[in-house]
Amino acid sequence: MAVPKRKQSHSRSAKRRSHNAVKPVQVQYCAQCGTPTPSHVVCPDCGFYMGRTVVEVSRS
């Protein structure tokens, strides 16, 4: 059975994990109302997505 001969160092493990950091959410602004929303998501304020109104939002 294959077993590592030596313990892997902290720096070597950290180098491997250097790309695992959490990236910030990509935010785009709605073309209709200007509200910041995540990309590829219907605007929660006006229901606008991809150039048309997809969801009717009640104003209350």
Q: Where are the chain's structural domains?
A: 24-60
pLDDT in tens, 6-53: 999 999 999 999 999 998 989 999 888 889 999 898 988 888 888 878
pTM: predicted TM-score of the whole model, two decimal places? 0.53
pLDDT of residue 22: 93
Measure the CA–CA gap between 38 and 24, rounded to whole angstroms: 11
Which SS3 state, helix, strand or coil, does residue 25 take?
A: coil
* Rounded-to-integer distance, Cα 45 and Cα 30, Å: 9
In contact, 32 and 23? CB cutoff 8 Å:
no
Determine the pLDDT at residue 8.
94
pLDDT of residue 60: 59
Which string of b and e fits 1-40 if b means at least 16 CB within 10 Å?
eeeeeeeeeeeeeeeeeeeeeeeeeeeeebeeeeeebeee
Q: What is the pLDDT of residue 51?
A: 80
